[in-house]
Amino acid sequence: MVVEVGPAPTGVAPPGGLLLASRGDALTPFLFAEIHRRYPVSGVLQTDLTQWQRLAVAAATFRPSRVQWAEQFYKSGLGHALRSRNAEALRRRSPDPLAPVLQVHALFDVAGGAGSLLYVDCTHRQSAAGWAPWNPLRGRALERWYARETAAYRSARHIFAFSSATRDSLVGEYGVEPGRVTVVWAGANGDPGRGPAREDRAPGAAPNLLFIGNDFARKGGPDLLVAFAEVRRRFPGATLRLVGTRPDVPAQPGVEVLGRIHDREHVDRLYAQADVFVLPSIFDPLPLVLLEAMDRGVPIVTTASCGIPDVVRDQVEGRLVPPNDPRALAEALVRSLADPASSSSMAATARARVREEFTWERVVDRMAPVLDELARPVAGRGSDPSPR
């Protein structure tokens, strides 16, 4: 179906609008709300597979491992073809069938050679190299996926990339013309500055580390547990709070497994109590939780993975270490705790940078030179794209 995003005065979407499509990512409501504020939107394409389509794709991609099955399902050629068919039917029924289509990720092909505008976090070649479990395909199936992905990128009107690393992959590994890729980054979800101020720590108080992430292994959780054991040798009373995941790990002194927390006020209190936010990802396109932690003013220790160096510059907004290096991670955590003045200074820089550069308004500012050519701006406001 095509769902109208905000009624036009006459009940009909204005001409020169956009069609929007997403797979339901957490960032989608914030991005789409900012686009809708500034441009006419003809509708949102809900291209989810029907129940019977899902059953067909599930049967065709079945694997004994639930994780492998999920990846096979998402990267199924059959699923992509069905979403493309669904999208084309919805476009024909929309108020403006010829409207440009902006997709968060490359979900489906747009028929007729019109192409899409794509907002891409990472390419499959990036994820296959950085995190093998995200690449369930082999042989001819993998070759077909790369061919399909390459065709989608090369036919796109323009691609908005999350990071410079993704731009480099699109240009260098997929042959996309550099002028058709713009790095626009992402925005912190919610209202910047929403969280409470950080709590004052009593002199000599045991330090508190905070980790938030749903995918414990990919986010470097096992490395963090090894590194934290070393941190405890320097700071015997230190605690490490794990949020968003319940890893199956043996009990370890100082480690508190809190699991998923849906109460935002509780999460805000955890940020306020943290001396360091640590995210030692092995592969991460551009983690929005990192932007959230920076906005809360928490000192950052993270890894130089994929898009993270675009957000955190080493010794400027936080401390960067290589992925898969527990020893370097432990050293960075110890330095951060041992030098709170330097850590707080970097945290203040990070907080200011998030509020200046990593908002959804700034993301759409960077998209504006392309969107202005395809859709009439609603408010006629200027833009400051800051091309990179």
Residue 245 token pair: 């995941």
Residues 217 and 174 in one domain: no
Looking at the domain assignment, is residue 132 inside a domain?
yes
Q: What is the pTM of this model?
A: 0.89
Distance CA(77)–CA(86), nearest Å, equals 14
The H-assigned helical ranges of the chain are 28-38, 51-61, 66-74, 77-93, 124-130, 139-155, 164-174, 221-234, 264-273, 288-295, 308-311, 326-338, 340-357, 360-374
Residues 370 and 306 in one domain: no
Looking at the domain assignment, is residue 250 inside a domain?
yes
**Quick one: pLDDT at residue 23?**
83
**Quick one: pLDDT at residue 339?**
96
Structural domains in the chain (count): 2
Residues 35 and 180 in one domain: yes
**Quick one: pLDDT at residue 14?**
42
Residues 176 and 224 in one domain: no
Residues 38 and 170 in one domain: yes
**Quick one: pLDDT at residue 197?**
62
Residues 161 and 178 in one domain: yes
Looking at the domain assignment, is residue 123 inside a domain?
yes
Low-confidence ranges of the chain (pLDDT < 70): 1-16, 111-115, 191-203, 379-388
Q: What is each CA distance from 122 to 8, 177, 184, 273, 342, in whole angstroms?
A: 35, 17, 13, 33, 33
Residue length, the chain? 388
Residues 110 and 148 in one domain: yes
Residue 191 token pair: 């209202």
C-alpha 273 chain-centroid distance: 25
Distance CA(251)–CA(164), nearest Å, equals 39
- Is 286 within 8 Å of 162 (Cβ atoms)? yes
Instruction: Report the CATH number that the domain containing residue 217 is assigned in CATH.
Output: 3.40.50.2000
Residue 223 token pair: 């490395």
- Amino acid identity, position 38: R
Residues 159 and 25 in one domain: yes
Quote the crossing angle between the two packed helices 51-61 and 66-74, to the nearest 10°: 120
Residue 41 token pair: 């939107």
**Residue 45 forms beta bridges with which residues?**
2, 21
**Quick one: pLDDT at residue 342?**
97
Q: Is 215 exposed, middle or buried (0-12, 13-18, 19+ CB in 10 A)?
A: middle
**Quick one: pLDDT at residue 96?**
83
Looking at the domain assignment, is residue 277 inside a domain?
yes
Residues 364 and 348 in one domain: no
Residues 284 and 364 in one domain: no
Residue 381 token pair: 């406001």
- Is 180 within 8 Å of 156 (Cβ atoms)? yes
**Quick one: pLDDT at residue 107?**
84
Residues 178 and 242 in one domain: no
Looking at the domain assignment, is residue 262 inside a domain?
yes
Residues 147 and 45 in one domain: yes
Instruction: Report the CATH number that the domain containing residue 164 is assigned in CATH.
Output: 3.40.50
Helix, coil or strand: residue 226: helix
Helix, coil or strand: residue 322: coil
Query: Domain range spanning residue 233?
Result: 208-357
Looking at the domain assignment, is residue 201 inside a domain?
no
Distance CA(79)–CA(97), nearest Å, equals 23
**Quick one: pLDDT at residue 383?**
46
Looking at the domain assignment, is residue 167 inside a domain?
yes
Looking at the domain assignment, is residue 79 inside a domain?
yes
**Quick one: pLDDT at residue 31?**
96
